[in-house]
């Protein structure tokens, strides 16, 4: 068999490793748009931005382990077109790679503010190169604005505050991280940022970015207020990196649609942030943007490539580090979930989230041991 993996990050790498681990000895080719060896994204908005980790520490494997995979790495190369009928992928350098089985692990691309001029000092953060560019500018800027108070925006705000910057965090929702944590827990995140000196502007959108001589100087809010700033980080969420699959006949629907075995078409599988899988039990589809999900899906796909019939039925899990606080969530928090504290003191708690009489999530706030115990309520 000849396996081609597009996307050389945690999802793609884990499929390759799991295949070898299970005894696969055939050809493995891995195409990745970024020129870096596979690295971990979670530290980018945390340890890399604050400078507590050198870049090398983000590398997912050292050179020896990558070499031991015996894979053909095509890094710095972009897949531009998929021709499923020919079992072929066209690359940006004109090469055409054929496959017996294809794994698509192309992740996400950050959203930008539509209709805004291109201004220096405006950043997105998805890749290592983007992180290093932002980090360089953070060394000199004093006033930083973050647009979007989701997980990424909150982490960037925390990192910038830790570096002593004056930070404004702007979001249209009433509390940060509403989509992932709901109102009650999102309210605690708001308190956390306020207590650390972040200027929180929730419940407001951005009218436009303001610049002088090609460089951002402010953010105009509705009603005429101007937030003066030297740097803007756009943390507006991301969209699945499926542009290269247009016209392939695969179903694109806020992600690459696949079944619960993560099969998207004959001999084509999807893994990680890009994959939208269907749950036959409920008829619903899901896509997760979490590190653990990418690894779990990769293990399912590796098994299925080798003839298995494994289904992906995860209990979603993510964590976020902001200041010295580690937030951990197993399960799903709806907007109106109520917290029931199980164990708490002044600096930490473990809780379950309840909605309509059902326990939907286990939560740790600086309490890794407590969240493990809370998880048992979820399984019950």
Ligand X SMILES: Cc1cc2nc3c(=O)[nH]c(=O)nc-3n(C[C@H](O)[C@H](O)[C@H](O)COP(=O)(O)OP(=O)(O)OC[C@H]3O[C@@H](n4cnc5c(N)ncnc54)[C@H](O)[C@@H]3O)c2cc1C
Residues within window 312-351 making contact with ligand X, judged by CB under 6 A: 318-320
Smallest separation (angstroms) from ligand X to the CB of 258: 13
Other CB atoms within 10 Å distance of the CB of residue 341: 13
Binding segment toward ligand X, per CB under 6 A, in 5-13, 140-148, 184-192, 216-224 = 5-13
Residue 92 to residues 29, 101, 332: CA-CA distances in angstroms? 16, 20, 39
289 near ligand X, judged by CB under 6 A:
yes
296 near ligand X, judged by CB under 6 A:
no
Let me know: does 11 contact 271? Beta carbons within 8 Å: yes
The count of chain residues that interact with ligand X, using the rule CB under 6 A, is: 36
Binding segment toward ligand X, per CB under 6 A, in 104-112, 176-184, 213-221, 328-336 = 104-112
294 near ligand X, judged by CB under 6 A:
yes
What are the DSSP calls for 45-60, one per residue?
GTHHHHTSS-GGGGBS
Question: What is the C-alpha to C-alpha distance for residues 187 and 178, in angstroms, rounded to an integer?
Answer: 9
Dihedral of the CA atoms 188, 193, 194, 197 (nearest 10)?
A: 160
Smallest separation (angstroms) from ligand X to the CB of 133: 13
Let me know: does 161 contact 136? Beta carbons within 8 Å: no
277 near ligand X, judged by CB under 6 A:
no
290 near ligand X, judged by CB under 6 A:
yes
Residues within window 110-139 making contact with ligand X, judged by CB under 6 A: 125-126
Let me know: does 370 contact 364? Beta carbons within 8 Å: yes
78 vs 285, which CB is nearer to ligand X?
A: 78
108 near ligand X, judged by CB under 6 A:
yes
Question: What is the C-alpha to C-alpha distance for residues 143 and 218, in angstroms, rounded to an integer?
Answer: 10
- Chain contacts with ligand X (rule: CB under 6 A): 6-12, 31-34, 41-42, 44-45, 78-79, 105-108, 125-126, 152, 241, 244, 272-273, 289-292, 294, 318-320
């Amino acid at each position: 068999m000849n396996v081609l993996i597009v996307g050389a990050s945690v999802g793609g790498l884990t499929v390759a490793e799991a295949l070898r681990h299970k005894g696969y000895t055939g050809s493995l080719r891995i195409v990745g748009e970024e020129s870096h060896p596979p690295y971990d994204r979670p530290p980018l908005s945390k340890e890399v931005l604050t400078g507590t980790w050198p870049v090398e520490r983000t590398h997912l494997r050292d050179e020896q382990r990558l070499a031991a995979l015996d894979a053909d790495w095509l890094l710095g190369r972009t897949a531009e077109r998929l021709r499923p009928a020919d079992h072929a992928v066209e690359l940006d350098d004109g090469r055409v790679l054929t496959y017996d089985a294809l794994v698509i692990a192309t992740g996400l691309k950050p959203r930008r503010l539509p209709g805004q001029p291109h201004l220096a000092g405006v950043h997105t953060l998805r890749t290592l190169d983007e992180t290093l560019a932002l980090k360089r500018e953070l060394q000199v800027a004093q006033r930083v604005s973050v647009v979007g108070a989701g997980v990424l925006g909150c982490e960037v705000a925390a990192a910038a505050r830790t570096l002593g910057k004056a930070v404004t965090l702007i979001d249209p929702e009433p509390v940060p991280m509403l989509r992932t944590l709901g109102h009650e827990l999102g309210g605690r995140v708001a308190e956390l940022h306020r207590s650390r000196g972040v200027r929180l502007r929730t419940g407001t959108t951005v009218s436009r970015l303001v610049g002088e001589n090609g460089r951002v100087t402010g953010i105009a809010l509705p009603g005429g207020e101007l937030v003066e700033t030297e740097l803007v980080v756009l943390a507006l969420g991301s969209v699945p990196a499926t542009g290269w699959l247009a016209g392939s006949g695969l179903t694109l629907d806020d992600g690459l649609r696949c079944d619960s075995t993560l099969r998207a078409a004959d001999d084509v599988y999807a893994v990680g942030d890009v994959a939208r899988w269907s749950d036959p039990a409920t008829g619903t589809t899901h896509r997760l943007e979490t590190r653990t999900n990418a690894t779990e899906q990769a293990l399912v796909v590796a098994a299925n490539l080798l003839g298995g019939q494994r289904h992906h039925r995860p209990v979603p899990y993510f964590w976020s580090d902001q200041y010295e606080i580690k937030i951990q969530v197993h399960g799903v928090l709806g907007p109106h979930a109520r917290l029931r504290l199980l164990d708490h003191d002044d600096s930490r708690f473990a809780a379950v989230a309840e909605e309509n009489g059902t326990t939907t999530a286990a939560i740790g706030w600086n309490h890794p041991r407590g969240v493990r115990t809370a998880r048992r309520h979820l399984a019950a």
